[in-house]
Amino acid sequence: MTTWLVTGGAGYIGAHVVQALMASGRGVVIYDDFSSGLHRRVPDDVEVVAGDVHDAAALAHVFRSHAIDGVVHLAAKKAAGESVDVPLYYYRENVDGLLHVLEAMEGTGITRLVYSSSAAVYGTPVANPVTEDAPLNPESPYGETKVVGEWMARDCGTAWGLSWSALRYFNVGGAGSDALGDSSVNNLIPMVFRALDQGRRPQIFGADYPTPDGTCIRDYIHVVDLAEAHVAAAARCESGVRTDVFNVGTGHGYSVREVMDMVSEVIGRDVDAEVVARRAGDPPATWASTERIERDLGWSASRDLRQMVASAWSAWQANA
């Protein structure tokens, strides 16, 4: 049995990754500074080390004292819009943070990394479905930090044999249980819930895009499916395969209006969304090619949009 350190394991996605790794029989240690992580997401029987990923000495100590075999690195800041205003903060947190994790790994001889990347590396895609070989055109400092992170992992693969997988998440939603729900409101589904809570009409940013119903199309991936992709990626690293990047999506796009309709169905009343002006920088449509991850990791998504919205709504209400 291998033991994995999960940075950001008290976060929304990280907590699901922790559960999936445990279910696979692997040992898990969480490393998190709780800047956005929540104690309620941490299982009682998992060891948690409170710390900052910039502290390479502390990381190296944990690697040795817990006989860590590999790292799933999720700890990062994730708001693309915010990153435009404070780019250096994003480079510090996301690039410099990873740098220290990699230094600690190199210094202690740990050669397995599963890295949280993002579909933000593509920016506005040239064609759909987006393959991993599509040009990288990030449109925010956040997306840029994820590209640099992939390059850092690749270069360490070349230099000292790091076996790594970078997972490019598409739009993540849902919850594995109420305690693990997404508490941030960066994504569409929680944004709709928050508007409803506040007695406002949820907003659709533009209904004049060149899509069938005029609203933007995205690939929504259930967080439990996403977590299972990390287990498949960890297994690939354990087998010693050197490197790759993988899209993690369903291969299917839903429009904003279709998501709103699903929310209406799940909560049992019309959300009565209002159309407002487009936001800058929203690509009309993007969904993933899942061919590579199906072929190389043997992973595909099995949960649908209804399960995603229903589990997210249940968690939202439980944590209101």
User: Which range in 9-17, 20-28, 98-106, 266-274 contacts ligand NAD by CB under 6 A?
Assistant: 9-17
User: Which range in 60-68, 75-83, 267-275, 312-320 contacts ligand NAD by CB under 6 A?
Assistant: 75-83
Footprint (CB under 6 A) of ligand NAD, residues 159-218:
169, 172, 187
Q: For residues 171 and 215, which CB has a smaller minimum distance to ligand NAD in the complex? A: 171
Out of 90, 115, 122, 142, the active site residue is 142
User: Which range in 32-40, 106-114, 129-137, 197-205 contacts ligand NAD by CB under 6 A?
Assistant: 32-40
Q: For residues 33 and 132, which CB has a smaller minimum distance to ligand NAD in the complex? A: 33
Q: Of all residues in this chain, which one has the CB nearest to ligand NAD in the complex?
A: 11
Q: Of the candidates 34, 89, 151, 160, which one interacts with ligand NAD according to CB under 6 A? A: 34
142 flagged as catalytic: yes
Q: Of the candidates 29, 33, 231, 301, which one interacts with ligand NAD according to CB under 6 A? A: 33
Least distance to ligand NAD from the beta carbon of 41, Å? 8
Q: Of the candidates 78, 100, 236, 303, which one interacts with ligand NAD according to CB under 6 A? A: 78
Q: Is 8 in the site for ligand NAD (CB under 6 A)?
A: yes
Q: Is 75 in the site for ligand NAD (CB under 6 A)?
A: yes
Q: How far is CA 135 from CA 217, 224, 289, in A?
A: 20, 28, 14
Q: Is 246 in the site for ligand NAD (CB under 6 A)?
A: no
Residues forming contacts to ligand NAD in the complex (CB under 6 A) are: 7-8, 10-14, 32-37, 52-54, 74-76, 78, 93, 97, 116, 118, 169, 172, 187
Active centre residues (catalytic): 142
